[in-house]
Amino acid sequence: MKTSKQLKKRAFTAFTFGTLLIISSYSLSLTTDSQHLKNSTFTPLYPQSQQPRISLAILSRLSQMHYNKVPVDDQLSSKMFDRYLAELDASRSYFTQEDINELSSYRHRFDEALKAGNLRPAFLIFNRYHQRVTERLNHLIYMAEKQLPNLDLKQDERLTINREGADWPKDSRMAERLWDKQLKNSIINLKTTGKEINEIQTLLVKRYKNQLTRTLQTNSNDAFQVYVNALTKTYDPHTQYFSPRSSEDFNIHMSLSLEGIGAVLQREDEFTKVVRLVPAGPADKSKQIFPADKIVGVGQGVKGELFDVVGWRLDDVVQLIRGPKKSTVRLDVISGKTEGGSERKIINITRNTVKLEEQAAQKDIITINRGDKESKIGIINLPTFYFDFKGAQSNQKDFKSSTRDVKRLIAELKKDGIDGLVIDLRNNGGGSLQEANTLTGLFIKDGPTVQIKSSNGSIDVLEDEDSEIFYDGPLAVVVNRMSASASEIFAGAIQDYGRGIILGGQTFGKGTVQSLLPLHNHGQLKLTLAKFYRISGESNQNKGVIPDITFPSIYNQEEIGESALPNALPWDYIRSVDFAHWNSYDSYLPELKKLHQLRIEKDPDFIYLNRQVEHYNSIRKMKTISLSEKVRNREKNENENKLLQIENERREAKGLKALADLEEKQQEITSEQEKEHRLTDNDDSFILVEAGSILLDFKDQLAAKTRVAKILSYQP
């Protein structure tokens, strides 16, 4: 094993999971055989001359360099075939079962085609898919133009919400029946926002015609990219091919050179989905948009017209959202908390750059009173693990580093006489691996912090070599589902050493390392090269870090997290390394959990959070949605009334004014954005207060144990 002394010349920077998805899963408008078209003329797409050579180069790099060694055989071919169909038609709304039966002859032939650089099967399937896309769009245009006012919205038929595992439509007639149901669902969704039927008809006709127009713009590079990514994603979800066009957008994002809202987006079916929010970015600060939300409309200015972006290419939506600094973008958003689009809102976000100082670590102090005793708990919020490589290389005296900043803040908090320290890593998507190592070193004497296993089987170990313990007091680390990569390495090391207690929600589970490889002016390949392991030998991959005490979470783990991604590398373990264990929190956990549970059963905010989670979980269990306007309106009203009731019960318990409707809550959020806040002045500050209370419980138990030990050791 290599130690950190041998690694000093190597810079390890963990990709945050969100950036890996910024340009992924494009909406591809495809071409097909002209005899199948009704209203438009297309020509089939064919491979370009250089594409077979590029595909062979990608296959070679995957085989030689990827962490996951996958034989190119019938098993890979079968997985790739299923992945290709899912990349093209995840909602199973285009291909028919007749198509699948015919195309299945290629299920075990992709491996031979890959080895020979033969793209004919790829483009044949691609063009068949486009045939169905074109048929669907022409059908929907006809229905929207000619039949929309006559559609029956009174019959209580049902539409499957998530069709990922549904049966393919049997034939073209059954496909049209499905499309008609989807059209009815779109109409009802728009009617629940207050739109009149004439307005809805105009909007939908325009939507489908725009999608058909974009279909014409698809080229061979688009087709090639989706095919190659069906291959790369059989290895793992973070390995990805970027065509020259998408490489440019990816590089722009990585350099953060354009203004925007600070949201990482991806394509899902016909929608633009939020994957994560950049800490301290405009979207994050707005408190109005969240991971798993879907953007269906984009407008410019506070009152600008909203352009319907359902079915648009991801890069086109991104371009529409980007804009000059301090300008406003309007977004029509469907909440990701529920399926079926039952919660929808229009929000305004002021574009801006993400300032480094706003992503820097910040401190605060919360005061907790117990009887006549007042205790101070230090809070450090760390949005990302940052490190100014250029500043360090040029020997700048005060270059930015998360470890440097946290160390300075802890020194200030120690002067204030804190009784415990909470490191808040919620929504921290990662960053510099080296910073995760050095930050861990502030809380331990010395020793290993993380293991990195490369694709060739070699294992490197990063270590803290400084024997100083900068802070040795009670420590808690708060995480949630959006804590990933470097955050998981830090939290895992603190947990393995028994140095602190981990609180919150199960983390994301991003335990792999990627690198970008250029393909000689033909795009680039992002490749998974290594895997992180904790010093205990356990991987963070897929499973993430499990907190010692779990708090309720509003995030849907089936929708968000590594385990929700197809073909994610599995959790596993390797040999542990030697390290000196701290005085463990384990023996104190049963009593800490008991006291925590007693508190949250009476805490209005925790009661509110638990009831929210229960409510959204009950809605998520719904597999189908009604296509009766009357039923949908009733369900929408019931949902809003339930949420209002939960909110007002919390307010009553805290002595706050009740709300007349949920709009008042949104107005409060908008008003709060305009004020300056301390770290704890937000809706989830109760999480940090509870973390502080758990630390005080630990101090009390530790003091009691010390008193007992002194009594037992006393000899008169």
Does 484 share its domain with 427? yes
Does 152 share its domain with 296? no
Q: What's the pLDDT score for residue 716?
A: 57
489, 14 in Cβ contact below 8 A? yes
Q: What's the pLDDT score for residue 705?
A: 77
Does 283 share its domain with 405? no
Q: Does residue 224 sit within a domain?
A: no
Does 339 share its domain with 384? no
Does 175 share its domain with 67? yes
Does 417 share its domain with 478? yes
Catalytic residue among 485, 487, 626, 628: 485
Catalytic residue among 332, 460, 496, 605: 496
Q: What's the pLDDT score for residue 340?
A: 58
Q: Does residue 454 sit within a domain?
A: yes
Extract the tokens encoding 430. 């990662």
Q: Does residue 54 sit within a domain?
A: yes
Last-in-domain residue among 350, 371, 402: 350
Q: What's the pLDDT score for residue 258?
A: 43
Last-in-domain residue among 289, 316, 350: 350
Q: What's the pLDDT score for residue 248?
A: 53
pLDDT digits (tens, 9 = 90+) for 61-82: 999 999 999 999 999 999 999 9
Q: What's the pLDDT score for residue 261?
A: 87
Q: What's the pLDDT score for residue 313?
A: 82
Q: What's the pLDDT score for residue 551?
A: 96
The total number of structural domains that make up the chain: 3
**CATH number of the CATH domain containing 565:** 3.90.226.10
Q: What's the pLDDT score for residue 671?
A: 61
Q: Does residue 334 sit within a domain?
A: yes
Q: What's the pLDDT score for residue 266?
A: 83
Query: Alpha-carbon torsion 326, 332, 336, 337, what sign?
Result: positive
Does 202 share its domain with 275? no
> DSSP characters for 248-283?
HHHHHHHHT-S-B--EEEEEETTEEEEEEE-TTSHH
Q: Does residue 622 sit within a domain?
A: no
Q: What's the pLDDT score for residue 8?
A: 42
Q: What's the pLDDT score for residue 322?
A: 87
Q: Look up 485 and say whether it is catalytic.
A: yes
For 474-492, letters b (16+ CB in 10 Å) and e give bbbbbbbbbbbbbbbbbbb
The crossing angle, in degrees rounded to 10, of helices 402-415 and 433-441 is 30
Q: Does residue 62 sit within a domain?
A: yes
Q: Rounded to 5 degrees, what angle do the CA atoms 110, 113, 117 make?
A: 135
How far CA 487 is from CA of 279, 482, 624, in Å, comes to 13, 10, 37
Q: Look up 222 and say whether it is catalytic.
A: no
Last-in-domain residue among 350, 377, 408: 350
**CATH number of the CATH domain containing 328:** 2.30.42.10
Catalytic residue among 363, 510, 526, 543: 510
Q: Look up 303 and say whether it is catalytic.
A: no
Q: Which domain holds residue 63?
A: 29-217
CA distance 288 to 283: 7
Does 344 share its domain with 392? no
Extract the tokens encoding 189. 């969704």
CA distance 193 to 196: 9
Question: What is the Cβ-side half-sphere exposure of residue 693, based on CA atoms within 13 angstroms?
Answer: 21
Q: Does residue 499 sit within a domain?
A: yes
54, 221 in Cβ contact below 8 A? no
Does 385 share its domain with 298? no
Does 331 share its domain with 367? no
Q: Does residue 397 sit within a domain?
A: yes
The one-letter code for the residue type at 199 is: E
Cα 83 versus chain centre, distance: 20
Closest CA to 454 of 527, 542, 563, 386: 527
pLDDT digits (tens, 9 = 90+) for 550-560: 999 988 888 89
Cα 41 versus chain centre, distance: 39
Token match 């200015």: residue?
301
Q: Which residues of the chain have pLDDT under 50?
A: 4-39, 251-258, 676-681
Does 151 share its domain with 129? yes
Token match 């301090």: residue?
326
Q: What's the pLDDT score for residue 254?
A: 39
Does 82 share its domain with 158? yes
Which residues, 6+ apart, have CB-to-CB distance to 254 below 8 Å?
Answer: 19
